[in-house]
Amino acid sequence: MQWISALVAGLGLGSMYGLMALGFHLTFAVSATVNFAQGSSMMLGAVLAYTFAQTLGWPMPVAVVAALALCAVYGLVVERLAVQPFVRRGSSAWLMATVALGIVLDNLVMLTFGTEPRSLPSALAQSSLHIGDAGLGVYPLQLLIPVVGLALAAVLHYVLRHSRWGVAMLAVVQNRDAARLMGILIQRTIAGAFAVSTLLAGIAGVLIAPLFNVQADMGTVFGLKAFAVAILGGLSSAWGVMIAGLLFGVAEAMITATLGSSYTQIITFGLVIVLLAMRPDGMFGRAEVRKV
């Protein structure tokens, strides 16, 4: 039963990493930039959902929708304040600007929300599943999270291939100048990518909140792991980062169940280093072809 519990928990965590890593992929594919405040976006989704549902007493569906909408707005703010001004001048300072904006958000939440960890109750995370009299140690929410993660990845893939916005985004990726000549609004497309990126992170935060404590610094470690997953899967491959997220989550859970949590970070990040040494462009990424 311990292995089943670890496997399910790993798939749930891996789906969260994958969703956040999809955000890294999306912005990198469209604008060759990433939002290093992605962990803060996840935290924002969880904190807002808790505030709306528990503090203000809103119905949970309304609270979740409102929280995710504000996460998308936060993505627009990140693109406008921390990315666009520097990219326009050909500067790479957006790297530090997005980190700084994330730190600002974390501290603002710490001042307003407080530092005390809080629990977001959910009917799907109150009692574990049983087979007969034997408890599996698995909550229904842990089974739902991988399904939601893979479904969102499939929806994103479909939208990118079959919607006008998705086709416009792919056009921007392939040839920005040609896309501009065809009437595609480049800046609006990039801003949309950042909004969807933080939306995905917000969804991860809302899903994981009932299983972890909601607090201002909860996104820091998740954001770091999600970026490692994005690099490991290959920033240029949407399905690659999702699969890498699942593998990373399962490996993390299995190592914890077998050797204990003291070895988890050492071994998982050690494996990341080894795999990247063997595949510098990620497991599913492709080396960029440069004309000289």
Q: Which residues contact 204 (CB under 8 A, 6 or more apart)?
A: 15, 16, 19, 20, 42, 45, 222
Q: What is the mean pLDDT of residues 239-264?
A: 90
CA gap 99, 132 in Å, rounded: 49
- Percent of the chain whose predicted confidence (pLDDT) is above 70: 94
The predicted pLDDT at position 3 comes to 74
pLDDT level of residue 131 (50, 70, 90 thresholds):
low
pLDDT of residue 288: 57
User: What is the mean predicted confidence (pLDDT) over 118-138?
Assistant: 74
Please report the pLDDT score of residue 136 as a whole number: 65
Which residue carries 């995905």 as its tokens?
200
Structure tokens that stand for 198 in this block: 């933080």
Asked whether 249 and 208 are in contact (CB, 8 A), the reply is no
Q: In terms of C-beta distances under 8 Å and separation of at least 24 residues, what long-range contacts does 188-191 make, across chains too?
A: 189/30, 189/165, 190/27, 190/30, 190/31, 190/79, 190/84, 191/76, 191/79, 191/80
> Cβ(5)–Cβ(136) under 8 Å?
yes
**pLDDT tens across 206-236, in order?**
999 988 889 998 998 899 999 999 999 888 7
Cα-Cα-Cα-Cα dihedral of 195, 210, 6, 283, to 10°?
A: 10
- CA distance linking residue 24 with residue 32, whole number of Å: 10
Q: For the segment 170-179, what is each residue's pLDDT rounded down to a tens digit? A: 777 777 777 7
pLDDT tens-digit series, residues 16-74: 999 999 999 889 888 888 899 899 999 999 999 999 999 999 999 999 999 999 999 99
**Model pTM score:** 0.90
What does the pLDDT look like over 71-86, one tens digit per residue?
A: 999 999 999 999 999 9
How far apart, in Å, are the Cα atoms of 133 and each of 123, 130, 198? Answer: 21, 6, 42
CB 50 within 8 A of CB 117: no
Instruction: Report whether 17 contacts 225 (CB < 8 A).
Output: yes
pLDDT of 1 > 70? The answer is: no
Q: How confident is the model over 240-252, as a mean pLDDT?
A: 91
Tell me what pLDDT residue 132 has: 61
Backbone phi and psi for residue 135, each to the nearest 5 degrees, phi listed first: -85, 135
